[in-house]
Amino acid sequence: MAETPHKAGFVSIVGKPNVGKSTLMNALVGEKLSIITSKAQTTRHRIMGILNGDNFQMVYSDTPGIIKPQYALHESMMGFVRTSLEDADVILFVTDIYEKHDEEEVIKRLQHAEVPVLVLINKIDQATVQDVKDKMIYWQEKMNPTEVLPISALHSTNTEHLFERLMHYLPEHPAYFPKDELTDKPERFFVSEIIREKILLNYKKEIPYSCEVVIEEFKEEEEIIRVRAEISVERKSQKGIVIGHKGEMLKKVGTQARIDMEEFFQKKIFLDLYVRVNENWRTDQKLLRRFGYSE
């Protein structure tokens, strides 16, 4: 009996902010790898979730939502998007049932893609059957993609079928990464993402987008992991808001982050959080490099 050939490849998940790209990747990989909150632009780096099987390896990259760059930070985020389109074997363009059709820039790029493009209409659990049919017809006519699939990433509706379609398009290739790897990111990256998620959940307006988290220390001992993290803000006034009255807000963020980290690492966590002002870090190339935004 002939051996099943091994398949491996890169699947890029692209689309506008807030359409459910991170939720989809987590549904496909089965781990909470990407930040999921209801604020736009929460994913700033490419994160690779790696799904392994006996005869396949699927490497997902979850890219920042496609936006017109306003800061050097946004330019760098868009750089991650371009790179992930270039090395993709399959592209998943995620849109949702509420989508306003103004992604001309993305559509132009995807129409010239030389690999299969699957348009995913997400959040179908919030729509009527007719709405879903209308959207499917719209995207088929607009882009003429390889396939259009309706899904609900949150409820994992149709994600099994999506996986089967991805397996169909995945090229024959040996594994790119060791089979026991879940992601290409180091542990301290997930620590900073967990803290950033809590900042997004606890602060309003521009505060979350003016914050960056840097892990100064990550020490794993037998019984405990010791983490020292710096939250960078752009202005002194923001530092006061992040810390809060008598340090209450920072304490709340720290407690929530520690609980999630203990679940993620299955180990006791000691977390030391502090806030520093780094003026205009979003436009400072040197600081952006330090925060990992330059490839």
pLDDT (0 to 100) of residue 68: 52
More confident residue, 154 or 205: 154
- Is a pLDDT exceeding 80 seen at residue 50? no
52 is in an annotated binding site: no
Local confidence band at 43 (pLDDT 50, 70, 90 cut-offs): very low
131 is in an annotated binding site: no
278 is in an annotated binding site: no
Q: Which CATH number fits domain 186-292: 3.30.300.20, 3.60.15.10, 3.30.1330.20, 3.40.50.10320?
A: 3.30.300.20
- Is a pLDDT exceeding 90 seen at residue 252? yes
Section 256-266 average pLDDT: 85
Angle, to 10 degrees, between the axis of helix 129-143 and the axis of helix 104-111?
A: 60
- The contacts of residue 39 (CB under 8 Å, 6+ apart) are 18, 200, 208
pLDDT averaged over every residue in the chain: 78
Token reading at 104: 């001309």
Alpha-carbon separation of residue 103 from 16, 63, 91 (angstroms)? 8, 15, 15
23 is in an annotated binding site: no
13 is in an annotated binding site: no
Section 99-104 average pLDDT: 64
Section 131-136 average pLDDT: 90
- Interstrand relation of 117-122 and 147-150 (parallel, antiparallel or unpaired): parallel
21 is in an annotated binding site: yes
pLDDT (0 to 100) of residue 2: 61
- Is a pLDDT exceeding 60 seen at residue 295? no
62 is in an annotated binding site: yes
Instruction: Give the predicted TM-score (pTM) of the model.
Output: 0.57
Residue burial 186-209, b: 16+ Cβ < 10 Å; e: rest: eebbbbbbbbbbbbbebbeeebbb
Residue for token digits 């363009």?
93
Amino acid at 76: S
CA 158 to chain centre: 20
198 is in an annotated binding site: no
**3-state class (DSSP) for residue 172:** strand
26 is in an annotated binding site: no
Token reading at 291: 């925060």
pLDDT (0 to 100) of residue 293: 59
More confident residue, 280 or 39: 280
18 is in an annotated binding site: yes
Section 181-200 average pLDDT: 76
133 is in an annotated binding site: no
122 is in an annotated binding site: yes
Q: List the chain domain ranges.
A: 7-169, 186-292
79 is in an annotated binding site: no
| CATH placement of domain 7-169 | 3.40.50.300
- Interstrand relation of 7-15 and 90-96 (parallel, antiparallel or unpaired): parallel
- Interstrand relation of 212-220 and 224-233 (parallel, antiparallel or unpaired): antiparallel
Section 61-79 average pLDDT: 56
pLDDT (0 to 100) of residue 44: 43
How many Å apart are CA 224 and CA 85, to the nearest integer? 39
145 is in an annotated binding site: no
pLDDT (0 to 100) of residue 219: 84
Token reading at 241: 């808001």
Local confidence band at 185 (pLDDT 50, 70, 90 cut-offs): low
- Is a pLDDT exceeding 70 seen at residue 287? no
32 is in an annotated binding site: no
pLDDT (0 to 100) of residue 147: 94
